[in-house]
C-alpha cells in the first residue's frame, strides 16, 4: 500500500529536549515536505527536499532542521524545542515538484 508514515503520532516533551519526528514514504517520490498546522492558519511549509541531500527552507524554518540521506526518509529535528513549536505536524511527498501531495497521518507535538 502506497503510504507516508510518521512517528511518533503523539508526543509531549519539555522545553530544550531534542527530538526527532521520522517520516518515510514507499512511493519512490523525490519531493518531500514538512508542514505545521496551527488553529486559524493554513498549513505552513517548514522545509522541503527535492532529492537526496537537497533541502531548502520553507516559510517557517526557524527552530527546525531536516536531513535527507535516503530517498524514502525525511526526518524533522527539533534541537531545542520551545512551547511555540507546539503544533500538528504533517510530512508529505510528491512525485513531481508541483504534483499532488500525499500526506502522512500527522504528529501532534506538545512542548511544555
C-beta separation of 78 from 64 below 8 A: yes
C-beta separation of 55 from 41 below 8 A: no
8 binds another protein per the rule CB under 8 A: no
* Site residues (CB under 8 A) for another protein, limited to 71-100: 90, 94, 97-100
Least distance in angstroms from the C-beta of 41 to another protein: 6
> Whole-angstrom Cα distance, residue 29 to residue 16?
33
Peptide bond before residue 18 is cis, with ω within 30 degrees of 0: no
Least distance in angstroms from the C-beta of 82 to another protein: 22
Stretches 9-17, 38-46, 64-72, 79-87: which one binds another protein (CB under 8 A)?
38-46
45 binds another protein per the rule CB under 8 A: yes
Amino acid at each position: 500500500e502506497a503510504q507516508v508514515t510518521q512517528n511518533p503520532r503523539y508526543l509531549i516533551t519539555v522545553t530544550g529536549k531534542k527530538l526527532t519526528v521520522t517520516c518515510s514514504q514507499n512511493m519512490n517520490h523525490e519531493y518531500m515536505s514538512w508542514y505545521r498546522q496551527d488553529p486559524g492558519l493554513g498549513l505552513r511549509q517548514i522545509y522541503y527536499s527535492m532529492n537526496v541531500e537537497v533541502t531548502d527552507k520553507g516559510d517557517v524554518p526557524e527552530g527546525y532542521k531536516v536531513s535527507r540521506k535516503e530517498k524514502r526518509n525525511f526526518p524533522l529535528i527539533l534541537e531545542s524545542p520551545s512551547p511555540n513549536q507546539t503544533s500538528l505536524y504533517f510530512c508529505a511527498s510528491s512525485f513531481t515538484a508541483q504534483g499532488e501531495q500525499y500526506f502522512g497521518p500527522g504528529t501532534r507535538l506538545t512542548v511544555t
